[in-house]
A and B are shown apart, each in its own frame.
Chain A
Amino acid sequence: MGIRPFYIHVEDQTLDDLQRRLARTRWPTITGENGWKFGTSSAYLRELMSYWRTGYDWRLQESKLNELPQFKANLDGGDLHFAHVKGRSMRALPLLLLHGWPDSFCRFAKVIPTFSDPERAGGTSKDAFDVVVPSLPGFAFSGRVQFPNQERPMRQTAEMLWQLMTQVLGYERFAIAGGDTGSAVAQNLAIAHPSSVVGIHVTDLSWHAGNVDPAMASKAEQKYLEASKKRFMEDGAYIMVQTTEPRGLTPGLNDSPVGLASWILDRFHSWSDGGDHLRTFTPDELLTNIMLYWVTQTIDSSVHHYYAEARSPSLLPSSHVDVPCAVALFPHDAAGIPPRSLGERTLNVQRWAEMPRGGHFGPLEEPALYAHDVVEFFRPLRSTR
């Protein structure tokens, strides 16, 4: 069980091949309309693809990413990729940051400096964290990690990350923060190893929390669940595809860069308040995220977790996280803002914050708001480490 330094380096061949594919894109037409009515706006996508071909500089982005100290840990199942930035403090609290789908460890790029060196950001070194940011198994540079079976993949992911933190990095107790898949993994880890987890900070409750019998739900909860159902009918088809026929979908996504971009960007558009031009993200941020799926060919392994998890769920409505939990909700997130009582069914909620703006990718869109909430939540818990 060792670790070795890791640097991202994509072969020239891969970049040349990408250029050839972009140049020969065959755009479908579903009527001449623009906008996001039928899916990813073709006008927006063409503009971004044009930038991808002519302006986007992967080597520059690659070198920026490589400014983060990165490693690979050899664990059961394969090599796990992670960034590890030590906190500028003698008593830095270890913090495991967990991304989701369709994003990557880059979700936390803007907040890593604040967490590791708060003084530089105008805070106090007492709030410093040792930051550990993995690529989840099946994603990006952890793409080759394979579990022994298809049972409860989020639980197996949690186990692997627990091993990383406690056995590879030697942290006895640590904090966790995440969203989307990262929220589910955080909850699984806290349930499986409560004595290792100081607390978890999540930006959504995860799927199982919405599985409440309406007869047992409060009025506010019922209203929220109705709205969730409506949202699902309008925009939940990607989940249905990924949980029932992923292998019909992913071959095309792995073979067409524009196709992959479209599938991913529709989520960014739907779950942010960036409007029709996704203005809360830079084109470089959006493309670098897509590149991580493209260059590692991990769209299928990342999607397969949806399928396996749906058939063998790691979390049930009866699951409960007993360690201290914070929930930070961003209004444009996929699930909107649930009533606090819903969160309290499955989490030991010690902090509940409803942000004024931002969406699913809170740490990217609103890094200051997000980082502040994480710091505030964990401050009183540092003495419990």
Chain B
Amino acid sequence: MSVEPFAIRIPQSTLDDLRDRLNSTRSSRDDATDWDAGTSPAYLRDLLGYWRTQYDWRAQEAELNQLAHYLATMSGVTIHFVHARGRGLSPFPLILTHGYPDSFLRFRKLIPLLTDPASHGADPLDAFDVVVPSLPGYGFSDKPDKAGGTFDIGALWRRLMTSELGYERFGAHGGDWGSTITEHLARSHSTSVAGIHLTDVPFWHSFQKPDDPSPDEQKYLDSIAAFQMKNGAYAMIQGTRPLTLADSLNDSPVGLAAWLVGKFQRWSDCNGDVEQRFTKDELLTNIMLYWVTETIGTSFLPYYDVMHAGAPRWIVEKAKDLLGGAAKVPAGFAMFPKDLSHPPREWAERFYDVQRWTELPRGGHFAALEEPHLLADEIRAFFRPLRTKA
């Protein structure tokens, strides 16, 4: 068997080293409180104080180990995943893919809602077997030993679900990089994938501007360009000089926190106050995952891969589109108001067979964490007609 159970157990030496670094942090004299120029220095100081004196990793670790973790090794690549079995007559298999700067933790609140709907006021017929992997280069998955692998993750996921876990037919959900990976999965393996559910339209579609955008689509494309100028710096540096940035983030815990926390504040539906949506423990446990595994550098690889994909790659992807990959697989979208982009439905209809499109009243980029009940309802509703093959 190439699937082994796994328990998270960070060496004490790692935690001791972290404590020393936190205690010797060289903080800036900057006393600003706003978040306009990135993470608020005042908030960072507050978070650092909590991290140093109150945050309890071992307690978080124990709680995380209540989930069933595994390591699957496929062709020499080891992938970490959580496997949560559904409670019901016929749980439907579903793979959930996270993005950046998050992790499998993105789905922590969602997992029980999907595996055990009956305990949450919903129908046990809507139960799922949930598989939540960590992307290669993230968390407890292997770090890739060369660039370019982002486009192969979909195939890896398919192998995990079918060969390793024995699911012939399954659904897939994702957001951020997770939506891109989910789309790749559907495009190349439509016979295994019953349907895909996304919280955004993968951004790379906007690289190929159509000749005939509608006014709403043009508005969307303009907003993407504006986002890139105003908020896209992180993607640009991660895609062009990832190591230059990772050198400080992998060596300074406060540096890592500053780089990551800003996104939770900017991209969530938190009205400027990050703790309206996330507790310090939630923010820090996610940061810890990047810190203890030293994966901040490899987490940048998808950005690097997409930026360096070049024309041949997009031609291959386009060809797969023409062969009807993604278009054959039913797609559902749950769009949250404070997410990074707001494409019109017609934009998604260019690339997918859109069978469900819902615009939710609240929530942002990390919808699974911010509004797990709204998202769970959407996922249940989308996959309900797809559970049995037509």
Q: Once the chains are docked, how many angstroms separate the CA of A250 from the CA of B236?
A: 17
Answer yes or no: A254 CB below 8 A from chain B CBs.
yes
Q: Which chain A residue has the least Cβ–Cβ distance from B248?
A: A259
Determine the residue in chain A with the shortest Cβ distance to B137: A30
Task: Please tell me if the beta carbons of A30 and B262 are within 8 angstroms of each other in the complex.
Answer: no
Contact across chains for A263 and B26 when beta carbons are under 8 A apart: no
Complex interface: stretch among A54-62, A203-211, A237-245, A340-348: A237-245
Question: Bound state CA distance, A21 and B236, in angstroms?
Answer: 29
Q: Which single member of B29, B232, B248, B297 contacts A30 (CB below 8 Å)?
A: B297
Q: Is A350 an interface residue (CB 8 A)?
A: no
Q: Is A31's beta carbon under 8 Å from chain B? A: yes
Q: Which residues from A are CB-within-8-Å of B81?
A: none
* Pick from A28, A29, A243: contact of B249, CB under 8 Å: A28
Chain B residues whose C-beta falls within 8 Å of the C-beta of A258 in the assembled complex: 247-248, 251
Say if the beta carbon of B163 comes within 8 Å of chain A: no
A28 with B259: CB separation less than 8 A: no
Complex CA distance for A24 and B20, rounded to whole angstroms: 11
Cβ-Cβ contact count across A and B, 8 Å cutoff: 187
Q: Which A residues are CB-close (under 8 A) to B143?
A: 29
For B146, give its contact among A26, A31, A42 (CB under 8 Å): A31
Which residues of A have CB within 8 Å of B246?
28, 30, 39
B231 at the interface (CB under 8 A from A): yes
A39 touches B232 (CB 8 A): no
Tell me whether A26 and B251 are in contact (CB under 8 A).
Answer: yes
Q: Could you say which residues of chain B place their CB within 8 Å of the CB of A300?
A: 28, 30
Smallest beta-carbon distance A112→chain B, Å: 31
Interface segment, one of B49-57, B207-215, B237-245: B237-245
Tally chain A residues at the interface, Cβ within 8 Å.
50
Within 8 A of B (CB), among A18-50: 20-21, 24-33, 38-40, 42, 45
B242-268 interface (Cβ within 8 A of A) = 242-252, 254-259, 262
Any A CB within 8 A of the CB of B301: yes
Interface residues of A in 300-358 (CB under 8 A from B): 300, 304, 307
A236 surroundings in chain B (CB, below 8 A): 236
B88 to chain A, nearest CB (A): 43
Chain A residue at minimal CB-CB distance from B30? A300
Complexed CA–CA distance, A21 and B21 (Å): 9
User: Is A234 part of the contact surface with B, judged by Cβ < 8 Å?
Assistant: yes
User: Is B41 in the interface zone, CB < 8 Å from A?
Assistant: yes
- Which of B40, B147, B245, B250 makes the CB contact (< 8 A) with A27? B250
Our pick among A241, A255, A304 for the contact of B237 (Cβ within 8 Å) is A241
Within 8 A of A (CB), among B136-182: 143-147
**Binary per-residue interface labels of chain A (244-280) against chain B in the complex, 1 for a CB within 8 Å, 0 otherwise:** 1111111111111011111100100000000000000
Residues in B whose Cβ lies below 8 Å from that of A28: 243, 246-247, 249-251, 294, 296-298
Contact code string A203-245 (vs B, CB < 8 Å = 1, else 0):
0000000000000000000000000000000111110110111
For the complex with contacts A248-B258, A251-B257, 17 further pairs of A-B residues with Cβ separation under 8 Å are A24-B20, A26-B250, A28-B243, A30-B242, A39-B247, A244-B230, A245-B234, A248-B39, A248-B234, A252-B249, A252-B255, A253-B255, A255-B26, A255-B27, A256-B252, A260-B248, A263-B248
